[in-house]
Amino acid sequence: QVQLVESGGGLVQPGGSLRLSCKSSRSISRLDSMGWYRQSPGKERELVAGFTNDGRVNYADSVKGRFTISRDNPENTVYLQMNSLKPEDTAVYYCNAKYTPTVEATYDSWGQGTQVTVSS
């Protein structure tokens, strides 16, 4: 399995910025994909930003131009830089990793989540 630990959430005013971090127990270069998801009460969990280990990156339309996903391979860490935050960005943000050690097994791992609240 993969253990993931998120940090960096908090309370910020509209227009402010936060940087989320996700530390992986495994080398991120060996994972099939990693990404950030978010979920608000009563809503479906949605992909915010993610990448595959072949280099493909995608973002939700609602965050394009404001959020940036990046990685630090030696530190086994993925980041989500969030700028120009809006109240509708308020959610619990989760780090996700998919790992396939064998052809018959795929592990889908989630961090514990970190709360982001955007409010004046």
Give me the pLDDT at residue 104, please: 86
Give me the pLDDT at residue 85, please: 98
Give me the pLDDT at residue 1, please: 81
Residue count (the chain): 120
Where residue 103 falls among pLDDT bands split at 50, 70, 90? confident
3-state secondary structure at position 17: coil
Residues 85-99: pLDDT tens digits?
A: 999 999 999 999 999
Residue 85 · residue 26 · CB < 8 Å: no
Can you give the three-state secondary structure of 36-51, one letter per residue? Answer: EEEECCCCCCEEEEEE
Residues 27-56: pLDDT tens digits?
A: 998 889 999 999 998 899 999 999 988 889
Alpha-carbon 57 to chain mean position: 12
Token digits of residue 53:
């280990």
Q: Which amino acid, one-letter code, is at 35?
A: G
Mean pLDDT of 52-75: 94
* Distances 96 to 53, 110, 114 between C-alpha atoms, Å: 13, 5, 12
